[in-house]
Amino acid sequence: MARTRSRRRVRRFIEPMNHLYDSHRDIRHFLAVIADALQQTGGAALTPTQWYDLAVAIIYFETEAVTHTADEEKSVFPRLRASRDTAARVMVHQIAKLKREHREAGRRLRAVNALLRRWLANGALQATDARYLRRHVTAVQAIFTRHFACEDEELFPLARRIFSMHQIREIEQEMVARRTGGAHPQLF
Ligand SMILES: [Fe+2]
Ligand SMILES: [Fe+2]
């Protein structure tokens, strides 16, 4: 009985943090989808499969990727900043850097989505737009390579170590609320 309860406690403890790890994998995947489409077509006509994959990427970056940033900035970062744990105090300046990277990546991803929408609507991109798109995608991939490394290897393990069960449950509830209260985006 004690063993079952203990397992349940562990499972509940890691689930919201696991979701944050999984989102990093998904973000990397959708950036690679865009980079591959660019590489294969140079911004010219897309196959139906490529068109569909890019449409899914647009929706992902306008919904789940934005919510992922909110999960970190509204649920995880403030609790780390409020912690008296020594390692969390050391992490405060890293959190400020992570927030700046969110702003920079967000700005570039909005540009990526605008260019993707133009590509899907017009059937092809002008050479200049294809260049901008490639530049933004490459820059976001570079930002996220170091950003995710910091979160996956330092920040999330620290959060797992110092957050109480109560805090984890609060984070879980906040993450669910963010995903059940919003409207769905319109592609066109
Ligand atoms: Fe982040
Ligand atoms: Fe993240």
Q: Could you read off the pLDDT of 15-48 as tens digits, one per residue? A: 888 999 999 999 999 999 999 999 999 999 999 9
pLDDT for residue 132: 98
Average of per-residue pLDDT values in the chain: 90
Relative to the alpha carbon of 94, which ligand is closest?
A: 1
Relative to the alpha carbon of 101, which ligand is closest?
A: 1
Tokens, residue 134 = 């490639």
pLDDT for residue 12: 47
pLDDT for residue 2: 47
Contacts of residue 160, Cβ cutoff 8 Å, sequence gap at least 6: 13, 14, 17
Number of compact structural domains in the chain: 1
Residue span of the structural domain in which 153 resides = 16-180
C-alpha to C-alpha distance for 33 and 41, rounded to whole angstroms:
12
In a domain, 66, yes or no: yes
Q: Which residues of the chain have pLDDT under 50?
A: 1-2, 6, 9-13, 182-188
CATH code where residue 171 lies? 1.20.120.520
Q: Which of 129, 116, 105 is nearest to 27 (CA)?
A: 105
> Is 144 buried (19+), middle (13-18) or exposed (0-12) by CB count in 10 A?
middle
Relative to the alpha carbon of 25, which ligand is closest?
A: 2
Give me ligand 1 centre to Cα 87, in Å. 18
Neighbours of ion ligand 2 (CB under 5 A): 151
Give me ligand 2 centre to Cα 52, in Å. 25
